[in-house]
Copies of this chain bind each other. A is one copy, B any other.
Amino acid sequence: MDREMAPKQGDEGAPDAWLVFEPDVREGLRDLRAGEEVIVLTWLDRADRDVLVVHPRGDATRPETGVFSTRSPDRPNPIGLHRVKIVSIDGTRVRVQNLEALDATPIIDVKPVLDQTTER
C-alpha cells in the first residue's frame, strides 16, 4: 500500500492510504464500492515473529500479556486485521480511510465487514 500525505480524518486520525493490488486480481475487486467498509488483511512484514508476550500498546507499566490476547503486530504469524472505509476506486487502486499500517505492507485479503450475523 502507499501512504499519502493527507489531512488527518477519522476518529483514529490515520491518513488516507491507497491499497495497490496486483493486476491479476482485478476481477476480484469489481464489486467493491466507495462508501463501503471492508476488512483488509495484511502481512506485517516488519514484525518480530518470536514474540509470545507483550506489554499491551508497548506500555511497560501494563502487565505482560499473551500475544493472542492482544493486537500486537509482533506475534508468530503477523497478520494485520484492519477495518477501513473505501473512499474511491481507481482500477486496481483503492483509496481507504482509517488504515493504520506501515507503507508497503503487503495486502493479503479483503473481506466484507464482520458483523454479528456474518462474521463467522
27 A-B pairs in the complex with CB atoms less than 8 angstroms apart:
A12-B120, A14-B120, A25-B76, A27-B53, A27-B66, A28-B53, A28-B66, A28-B68, A30-B53, A31-B66, A31-B69, A32-B66, A32-B69, A41-B77, A68-B109, A68-B110, A68-B111, A69-B112, A70-B111, A71-B111, A76-B109, A79-B109, A81-B114, A82-B120, A83-B114, A84-B120, A99-B120
Residues of chain A having any CB pair with chain B under 8 Å: 12, 14, 25, 27-32, 38-39, 41, 52-53, 65-71, 75-77, 79, 81-84, 98-100, 108-112, 114, 118-120
* Contacts A66-B31, A118-B71; A79 near B112 (Cβ below 8 A): no
